[in-house]
A and B are shown apart, each in its own frame.
Chain A
């Protein structure tokens, strides 16, 4: 399924995920070299989607770990099911077992809560492990992650060392929220995913908003492409282009003028100040 860049590109396209050749080449290389794929780029260009589609086309299960500040091993790797262990100790009490006996019963897989990282290592099938927004986690977590992504094994002191049965395809995403570790980056294959260019975004609009008039689609995409050049609080993502196109289609708009923009801008832009800025400095629209 992932045997050449071209094949990746066509199978991605079958799932309505359009990428250019260089993107598929990088994905192919990460898979073949067995390296984590670090996807960076602005919000809304499809970084998470890429991992999802990669799992779909390779027939692998997608395991997702969402990062946030304060994420630690107990939430990402494993945790002992403390309450269940207590219950067990409680029910065993009457039988007057020794501590050694109790210890052996409560530190078993039955009482282990698998979190995404352990689940990916332990999985019987091949998986795609998505570590989303890794830049939001803290440094401590990062170095711990680096260790796992180097050996693909972890040791649970009370239990055993677990090595991955199948090395997962690992995809990390980052919005550059924070500069993160050099060492982790060096381990990865780097993919910079940017907003699509005009041709590509037009292709995406045609594909996802069938029934839209060619001329209108072109105008919408050209407009959005221009808007992204303006420094805004939040530049429109691909999804927002699509939502806007759908809205305009629904409203049976044929001409993109300033009135249409004013009345639908909320679909495309999420901040009042952004809307005002685009109205003032944005691409020229005809007065209606």
Chain B
């Protein structure tokens, strides 16, 4: 087997470890696809994606893994993953959502306790990450209170619609940043296994 083919097969095996199931015939399709379109970045990416990924929900994870494995600078997952503001309208929703992300990589990212502590002060998004990773529901509740309180404090801006309020509550505890960090963290810690 040529080194490139070996690499692709190896990549497919790693996809499996992340819970993206890939069959032998799909790997065979992927190899043939790459031999047809070559290694230009977009073509190579499209060839692997269309032969290996059949569920839309696997795309963001595939995207990130692809970039890590084939040595492309990590970037944010694609837009479609940015999430729908409505989905996150209640705290139930966001608990589920974030732990889901951690789950995707099986083990949470390795961030040492010490580093974590030193960064927590004044950075609610780090608390959010920590709470999600450790399944600390009290802390999540605390953060939710914090978020709601922040909305009240900001009343001076006048009455806004519910979506904007939720958005502001999320922003106040570093919602987006926490999601990015958890996701990247999971990936980079797993990347060491590559």
Which residue of chain A lies nearest to B47 when distances are taken between CB atoms in the complex? A29
Contacts of A30 in B (CB 8 A): 50
Pick the interface stretch among A84-92, A151-159, A181-189, A246-254.
A181-189
Set A32, A33, A185, A280: member contacting B54, Cβ < 8 A: A185
Which residue of chain B lies nearest to A182 when distances are taken between CB atoms in the complex? B54
Set A25, A38, A231: member contacting B37, Cβ < 8 A: A25
State the majority secondary structure of interface residues on B.
Answer: helix
Which residue of chain A lies nearest to B22 when distances are taken between CB atoms in the complex? A186
In the bound assembly, the distance between CA atoms of A192 and B33 in angstroms comes to 17
Which residue of chain A lies nearest to B162 when distances are taken between CB atoms in the complex? A281
What does the 1/0 interface line of A2-33 toward B look like (CB < 8 Å)? 00010000000000000001100110111011
Known: A5-B43, A194-B80, A231-B86. A29 touches B50 (CB 8 A): yes
In the bound assembly, the distance between CA atoms of A64 and B58 in angstroms comes to 30
A117 within 8 A of B: no
B54 contacts A191, C-beta separation under 8 Å: no
Q: Taking each of A182, A187, A190, A231, which has the highest tally of chain B beta carbons within 10 Å of its own beta carbon?
A: A190
Known: A21-B42, A22-B42. A29 touches B54 (CB 8 A): no
Set A182, A187, A189, A281: member contacting B50, Cβ < 8 A: A189
A40 contacts B161, C-beta separation under 8 Å: no
Which residue of chain B lies nearest to A197 when distances are taken between CB atoms in the complex? B79
Pick the interface stretch among B23-31, B110-118, B173-181.
B23-31
Q: Nearest Cβ distance between residue B67 and chain A, in whole angstroms?
A: 16
Contacts of B144 in A (CB 8 A): none
B51 contacts A189, C-beta separation under 8 Å: yes
In the bound assembly, the distance between CA atoms of A66 and B154 in angstroms comes to 54
Q: Nearest Cβ distance between residue B79 and chain A, in whole angstroms?
A: 9
What does the 1/0 interface line of B56-77 toward A look like (CB < 8 Å)? 1001000000000000000000
Q: Taking each of B33, B56, B80, B163, which has the highest tally of chain A beta carbons within 10 Å of its own beta carbon?
A: B33
Set A21, A22, A25, A33: member contacting B29, Cβ < 8 A: A33
Q: Nearest Cβ distance between residue B28 and chain A, in whole angstroms?
A: 10
Known: A26-B46, A29-B50. A192 touches B59 (CB 8 A): yes
Q: Nearest Cβ distance between residue B35 and chain A, in whole angstroms?
A: 10
B42 contacts A191, C-beta separation under 8 Å: no
Q: Return the 6 tightest CB-CB contacts between A and B, nearest first.
A: A185-B54, A25-B46, A26-B50, A22-B46, A190-B54, A29-B33
B121 within 8 A of A: no
B33 contacts A33, C-beta separation under 8 Å: yes
In the bound assembly, the distance between CA atoms of A190 and B56 in angstroms comes to 10
In the bound assembly, the distance between CA atoms of A32 and B50 in angstroms comes to 13
B131 within 8 A of A: no
- Give 11 CB contacts A-B under 8 Å: A5-B37, A21-B43, A26-B50, A28-B36, A189-B33, A189-B50, A190-B51, A190-B54, A280-B161, A281-B161, A281-B163
B42 contacts A192, C-beta separation under 8 Å: no
B36 contacts A29, C-beta separation under 8 Å: yes
In the bound assembly, the distance between CA atoms of A122 and B26 in angstroms comes to 28
Which residue of chain A lies nearest to B53 when distances are taken between CB atoms in the complex? A190
List residues 162-198 of chain A with CB under 8 A from any CB of chain B: 176, 182, 185-192, 194
Known: A26-B50, A29-B47, A231-B86. A186 touches B37 (CB 8 A): no
Contacts of B53 in A (CB 8 A): 190
A192 contacts B56, C-beta separation under 8 Å: yes
List residues 149-164 of chain B with CB under 8 A from any CB of chain A: 161, 163
In the bound assembly, the distance between CA atoms of A90 and B80 in angstroms comes to 64
Q: Taking each of B32, B54, B85, B163, which has the highest tally of chain A beta carbons within 10 Å of its own beta carbon?
A: B54
A25 contacts B161, C-beta separation under 8 Å: no
B84 within 8 A of A: yes
In the bound assembly, the distance between CA atoms of A102 and B49 in angstroms comes to 55
Which residue of chain A lies nearest to B28 when distances are taken between CB atoms in the complex? A33
Which residue of chain A lies nearest to B44 when distances are taken between CB atoms in the complex? A25
B51 contacts A29, C-beta separation under 8 Å: yes
Which residue of chain B lies nearest to A231 when distances are taken between CB atoms in the complex? B86
In the bound assembly, the distance between CA atoms of A29 and B52 in angstroms comes to 13
